[in-house]
Amino acid sequence: MSLPTVDWVPLLPLLAVTATAVVVLVADLFLEGSDRDALAWLSVLGLALTAIVAAVLWGHHPAKTLGGSFILDKYALFFDLLFCFASILAVLMAVDFLTTTSVRGGEYYSLVLFATSGMMTMAGATDLIVIFLGLEVMSIAVYVLAGVWRQDIRSNEAALKYFLLGAFATGFLLFGIALVYGATASTRLDAIAAHLSRRGGEGQEMLMLGIGLLIVGFGFKVAAVPFHVWTPDVYEGAPTSVTALMAVGVKAAAFSAFARVFLETFAATRTDWNSVLWWLAVATMTVGNLLAITQSNIKRMLAYSSIAHAGYLLVAMVAGGRQGGPALLFYLLAYAAMNLGAFAVVIALGRTGEANEEIERYAGIGFRRPLLAMAMAAFMLSLAGVPPLVGFAGKFYVFRAAVESGYVGLAVIGVLNSVVSAYYYIWVIVMMYMCEGDLEPSSLAQRPYLATTIGISLAATVLLGIFPGLGFALARDGFLSLG
C-alpha cells in the first residue's frame, strides 16, 4: 500500500515552529542557571525564521495539502506573521519573569511555540476537524501556560477555570461540527460551501442548529458576550506574559477560523446568522466597556477592554465582504501591537513579590519613569482610538466598512462605545501624570528584554497609525485570497 503524496511546502511555517518547540524542549534538559536565557533567543530565532519563511511564501500560489484539509494562501500567511509577532513579544516579555520564579524556561517557551503551531493550524485549516485539532493544540498549551506558576494560587485558579469552561465550550463547537456534517455530509469547507450554494439553508434546521453551536464555540474563544465570563478571572490570575498571549494570539487564531468558516464557507446562508452576530457585536462592545469602567485592577480592566475590542472585530464580521474582511485583519494587527505593549508595561511596573496591578498604584509614574509612562499613555490612547495612533486607523476601517455595508446604526453604536471607553483609558493617564504616588519600579535599563518588547510595540503602534496603508494592503491581499 502506497502512502498518499504530501506537498510539504504549505506546511513549512507550521513545521518550522513545531521543530523549534521540540528543539527548545530538548535543549532545556542540558542547560542550567543563566544559560537558560539562550532558550529565549532560540525561541525568538525559530519564530523569526518562521516569519521569514511565511514572508518568502507570500507570493506563492495558494496550495492545498493533506487531502485538501490545509491550505497555504495569503490569508493563512497573514495570520502566521501575526502569530510570530505576538509570540516573539510574549517570549521576550517573559524572560525577567522566568528568572525570578521557579518556572523552567524550556517549559514556558516550548508551550508558547506549541500554542503558536495550533494557531497556525487554525488559520490554514480548510476542514472543520482540522480547525478543531488546531484549537485543541492551542488551547491545551495555553491552559498549561495559565497555571505555569505553580506556587501562585491565582495562576492555579486561572488554569482550572480556563480548562473547565474551555472544555465545555469545545463541546459546543464539536457538537456543531457534527450537526454541520450531518446536514452537508462533509467537514471540508469547500464541499460545505458547494452544498450551501446549491441548497442554501432553507429547511435545514439541523444545519442552522450546527451553525448556532459553532457561534457559541467561537464566541467563547474570542470572549464575546455572553460567553465572556472566564475572561476577567483568567486574565488576572495568569502570568501577565501569558495573559498577553491569550489576549492577542488566542483571539486572533479564533477569528482566523471564525472568519474563514462564516465569511467564506457559510456565505450563502449569511442572512440566517448575520443578525445574531449583529446583536453579539452590540452586546460585546457595550458590556465590555461598561464593566471596564468599574475596574480598579489594570489586568481586569484590560480583560474587559479585550471583550469590548472583540465587539469591534465582530462589527467587521457583520460588515463582511470586501470591506469588512480586510478591516477585520487590520484591526487584529493593530490590536496586537497596542495590547502587547500595554501588558509589557504592566509587567515593567511590577516587582518581585509585588504585582502593582491596582491602577491607583500608577500615581506619579509619569515623573519617576517618564519613558515608561509615555509608552503606557500611547498604548492607552491607541486603545481608545485617538489619532494618529494605530487604534484610530483600525476603528476607522472597521466603522467605514460597517457604513459602506449598510450597517450605519451598528457603526454609530461602535463610535459611542469608543467614546465610553476613553474614560477608563484616560483614567490611567490621569493617575500617572496628575496624582502623587510612591511606586518605584525598577529601571528598564536593567530589563533589556522587556524594554525591547515595549520599544517594538510602541514603534508598531505609532508607525502603523501614521502609515496604515502598508498594513491595510497586506490585510486586504490576505482576505481577498480566500476562495
For residue range 207-232, list pLDDT tens digits in order.
889 999 999 999 999 989 888 888 88
Number of domains in the chain: 1
Contact predicate 305/384, CB 8 Å: no
Nearest to 330 by CA among 466, 476, 458: 476
Nearest to 146 by CA among 217, 249, 219: 249
Strand duo 70-72 + 63-65: pairing: antiparallel
Contact predicate 10/70, CB 8 Å: yes
Within-domain flag for 2? no
Contact predicate 155/147, CB 8 Å: yes
| Dist CA 483 CA 344 (whole Å) | 37
Within-domain flag for 181? yes
Within-domain flag for 279? yes
Contact predicate 387/380, CB 8 Å: no
Show the 3-state SS of 221-235.
Answer: HHCCCCCCCCHHHHH
Q: C-alpha dihedral over 254, 215, 299, 351, to 10 degrees?
A: -40
Within-domain flag for 4? no
Task: Give the model confidence (pLDDT) of 165-203 as tens digits.
Answer: 888 888 999 999 999 998 888 899 988 988 888 776 555
pLDDT of residue 265: 87
pLDDT of residue 381: 94
Within-domain flag for 51? yes
Q: Would you give the end-to-end CA distance of the chain in angstroms?
A: 34
Domain span holding position 278: 9-480
Nearest to 399 by CA among 346, 323, 475, 305: 323
Within-domain flag for 468? yes
Within-domain flag for 149? yes
| Dist CA 207 CA 200 (whole Å) | 10
Which residues fall within 8 angstroms of residue 404, CB to CB, at 6 or more apart? Answer: 319, 323
Mean pLDDT by runs of 10 across the 483 residues of the chain is 71 92 88 74 93 90 84 92 94 83 79 94 92 93 87 82 87 92 89 82 77 92 88 87 90 93 88 91 94 90 93 93 91 94 88 69 83 91 92 94 92 94 92 79 75 92 92 92 76
How far does CA 350 lie from the centroid of its chain? 23
Contact predicate 363/436, CB 8 Å: yes
What is the model's pTM?
0.94
Strand ranges in 48-143 using DSSP code E only, listed in sequence order: 63-65, 70-72
359: cell is 491602577
Within-domain flag for 137? yes
pLDDT of residue 229: 84
pLDDT of residue 289: 93
pLDDT of residue 271: 86
